[in-house]
Amino acid sequence: MRVHSAYWVEQIKQGRAIAIGPVADPKGALGVGIIRLEDGVDPAPLVANDPAIVANVGFTWEVHPMPNVLMAEGV
């Protein structure tokens, strides 16, 4: 999972990710990520290149657009 975390730290540094982290769900392990991309940029390659996905050990991903976002200043 270190390479998974390092991958997303780099995405944060590049301005493509805003928040990434695990979710405490009693049903099982999962995480959530909020990414920010320019209009028209496909998020699929960014997520598909996550080392946890590339390892092909059972992790999956979904992308759901947020058409409107309220954010704290400076984020």
Q: Assign 65 to helix, strand or coil.
A: coil
Q: Assign 11 to helix, strand or coil.
A: helix
Residue 64: inside a domain, yes or no? no
- pTM of the predicted model, to two decimals? 0.84
Residue 75's pLDDT band, with cuts at 50, 70 and 90, is low
**pLDDT average, residue stretch 30-43:** 92
Total count of domains within the chain: 1
* CB 50 within 8 Å of CB 15: no
Residue 75: inside a domain, yes or no? no
**Does residue 13 register a pLDDT over 90?**
yes
Residue 13: inside a domain, yes or no? yes
Domain enclosing residue 32, as ranges: 2-54
**pLDDT average, residue stretch 70-75:** 82
Residue 34: inside a domain, yes or no? yes
Residue 15: inside a domain, yes or no? yes
Contacts of 26 (CB under 8 A, 6+ apart): none
Q: To the nearest whole percent, how much of the chain has pLDDT over 70?
A: 99
